[in-house]
Amino acid sequence: MNTKSFYSNSDVVAHLQTGMPTLFHSSQTSTVIPFEKMEGALKSNTVMGNLSTIKGALEMQANGNLKISGFVTWKEAKEFCLSKGREIMTSPTEELAGVLAGIATSCTGERSFGFRNLRSQIVECNYLDFNGVEHTLSATKKLDIGIDLADYQKDFSHYAQYKNAPYPRMEFETDLMTGTEGQLGVIDSAILKTIEHFPETYIFMLLPRWEENFEPHLELYNAVQKFRDRVRACEILDSNSLSYLPPEKNPGKNNDVVFLEIRKDDFENIYEDLLSHLTLLNEDQIFEMDATKCRDLRVSVPRAVFEANSRMGVTKKGTDVQVSAEKFKELLLFYRKLGTHGVPYNLFGHFGDAHLHFNFMPTPDKENFCNAELESLYEQVLQWKGSPFAEHGIGLLKRKFIAPFYSETQKNVFRALKKKYDPKGQFFPEGFMTC
Ligand SMILES: Cc1cc2nc3c(=O)[nH]c(=O)nc-3n(C[C@H](O)[C@H](O)[C@H](O)COP(=O)(O)OP(=O)(O)OC[C@H]3O[C@@H](n4cnc5c(N)ncnc54)[C@H](O)[C@@H]3O)c2cc1C
């Protein structure tokens, strides 16, 4: 495997000018690229180009926008903003991922419930093209690139309210780099909107196990939709996910937990306007948890799941499906069925957005069985017109499953984009746009 680390933009420019096919990467936290076993996953001459060695820089601009250059993690960006009395609106669970990589994967997270997706928070983005020349893309300028995008955009409009569609948006200039997974250029800096910081708090609710009774879940899901202006995140950790935690850290005790992130000064009115109206939840099932403890809990679950899979030597068998409100119950019923095959599983994720990660936890001999089950789920998602990979992207592992979601309309646009922006085929040639 050819690997190369870059220490400055000029290093990247010199490399781009060689035209060598490269998978540029940052923190390698992608769950759709098997970084732990890449042997044979890429073409033999593709280089693994490490961008996480480029020194990062952060600048808070006078208008409250945040400029990020080089390699900066979400954790660093968040802490920097807080030190200036500001907040970043995207909060992926894996905070050690890179912010610029987050643009490449159109990363989302729990706060998408209140603040929508990262796509809507980008102001500007700079990238290096195949000659190593830097270009600036604006989030307010319509994409005008000599490629007919009318049918593509018409198809995309169905997914406008989803966190991510099965394919990138391609409406404004910044869309060229957003969710295109490094297949059209290398992002070297970006400007993101931020908001004024107000202390937050978390409301935890204990619910029955969704496998046995999800009526309280659905009541809460429907009720919270009208509170997107006050509730920033609405997440679920089911009883199976919580069982991976040490008992003293587990607030569930054989219950599911749904939690809301809100501003501390909204606590009383959220209680009054939302929670007190829930008929299937008692007061003694609701409690407050401080931000640090909650974050710790939230990060521990997917990490524990990831580690359990690694120990077992299996690639993650998880879903990233988002559906419309009308199909949410059907999605839960489908997941219920997946849970009846004797393979351990867990469910967590972005409950308020009908976007849940169902994870099989198979032994190696059950991997093929799980893949077949997941394939039947994706067939169903296609029928539901849902989004099969609303957050973690396609990478290498989901290419097979995304294929039925592309018609000639999408493929023609991908081919035209690759021809124009990647004429030498050097940007992640194994990615989903090569078709
Ligand atoms: C425990 C856990 C929790 C997670 N939670 C979330 C979550 O809540 N939300 C979410 O969206 N994702 C989540 N992820 C997935 C992952 O963290 C995101 O996809 C993240 O954006 C990847 O960032 P990275 O720095 O690790 O990029 P890498 O994994 O190194 O690369 C990912 C992709 O981005 C491209 N890329 C990287 N840097 C650049 C660049 N500068 N220019 C162009 N292309 C580039 C690469 O080519 C590759 O295709 C989670 C992962 C784990 C392990």
Ligand 1: centre distance to CA 75 (Å): 14
Same structural domain, 78 and 123:
yes
Same structural domain, 208 and 338:
yes
Closest-CA residue to 395 (of 310, 305, 300, 320) = 320
Residue 426 lies in a domain: no
Residue nearest to atom 7 of ligand 1 (CA): 92
Ligand 1: centre distance to CA 208 (Å): 33
Same structural domain, 160 and 227:
no
Cα–Cα distance for residue pair 72/79, rounded to 1 Å: 11
Same structural domain, 188 and 204:
no
**pLDDT top residue among 109 and 54:** 54
Q: Which amino acid is at 273?
A: D
Helices (H), 166-317: 215-224, 239-242, 267-273, 291-312
Ligand 1 closest atom vs CA 395: 49
Q: Which long-range contacts (CB under 8 A, 24 or more apart) does 43-48 make?
A: 43/429, 43/430, 45/2, 45/20, 45/21, 46/2, 46/21, 46/22, 46/429, 46/430, 47/2, 47/3, 47/4, 47/15, 47/20, 47/21, 47/22, 47/23, 48/1, 48/2, 48/3, 48/4, 48/22, 48/23
Same structural domain, 7 and 154:
yes
* Domain total of the chain: 2
Q: Which of 30, 95, 232 to mutate to test the pocket of ligand 1 (most atoms within 8 A of CB)?
A: 30
Largest CA distance in the chain: 64
pLDDT digits (tens, 9 = 90+) for 207-245: 999 999 999 999 999 999 999 999 999 999 999 999 988
Residue 215 lies in a domain: yes
Residue 190 lies in a domain: yes
> What is the reported pLDDT for 296?
85
Same structural domain, 65 and 174:
yes
Same structural domain, 187 and 317:
no
Q: 3-state DSSP call for residue 207?
A: strand
Question: What CATH number does residue 131 fall under?
Answer: 3.30.465.10
Confidence band (pLDDT; 50, 70, 90) for 76? very high
Same structural domain, 180 and 39:
yes
413 sits in which H/E element: helix 408-421
Among the residue ranges 47-56, 91-100, 323-332, the one predicted with the least confidence is 91-100
User: DSSP of 6-37, one letter per residue?
Assistant: --SHHHHHHHHHHT--EEEESS---SSS-GGG
pLDDT > 70: what percent of the chain? 100
> What is the reported pLDDT for 314?
82
Ligand 1: centre distance to CA 26 (Å): 8
Ligand 1: centre distance to CA 101 (Å): 5
Backbone angles phi, psi at 44, to 5 degrees: -65, -25
Ligand 1 closest atom vs CA 185: 43
Within 6 A (CB) of ligand 1 lie: 23-31, 33, 51, 92-94, 97-98, 100-102, 104-105, 107-109, 181-182, 186-187, 302-303, 306, 391-393, 395, 428
Query: Does residue 149 register a pLDDT over 90?
Result: yes
Same structural domain, 147 and 212:
no
Residue 391 lies in a domain: no
- Whole domain around residue 337: which residue ranges? 200-384
Residue 226 lies in a domain: yes
Average pLDDT of the chain to the nearest whole number: 95
- How far, in whole angstroms, is CA 382 from its chain's centroid? 20
Question: What CATH number does residue 309 fall under?
Answer: 3.40.462
- Strands, sheet with 57-60, edge to edge from the N-terminal-most edge strand: 57-60, 66-69, 186-192, 122-128, 134-138
Same structural domain, 41 and 190:
yes
pLDDT digits (tens, 9 = 90+) for 276-331: 999 999 999 999 998 888 888 888 888 888 888 888 888 778 999 999 999 999 99
Residue 392 lies in a domain: no
Using CA atoms of 292, 294, 295, 301 in order, give the dihedral in degrees to the nearest 10: 140
Residue nearest to atom 22 of ligand 1 (CA): 30
Q: Which residue has the tokens 């987050």?
A: 102
- Distances in Å between the Cα of 430 and the Cα atoms of 46, 65, 99, 112, 399 are 9, 34, 23, 29, 9
Residue 431 lies in a domain: no
Residue 393 lies in a domain: no
Backbone angles phi, psi at 267, to 5 degrees: -55, -50
Ligand 1: centre distance to CA 92 (Å): 9
Same structural domain, 275 and 171:
no
Q: Quick one: CA dihedral 20, 39, 389, 166, positive or negative?
A: positive
Same structural domain, 88 and 222:
no
206 sits in which H/E element: strand 200-207
Ligand 1: centre distance to CA 29 (Å): 5
288 sits in which H/E element: strand 286-289
Contacts of 204 (CB under 8 A, 6+ apart): 251, 257, 258, 259, 286, 287, 288, 289, 294
Among the residue ranges 29-38, 48-57, 380-389, the one predicted with the least confidence is 29-38
Ligand 1: centre distance to CA 370 (Å): 24
Closest-CA residue to 288 (of 314, 268, 313, 309) = 268
Among the residue ranges 9-13, 256-260, 310-314, the one predicted with the least confidence is 310-314
> What is the reported pLDDT for 392?
95
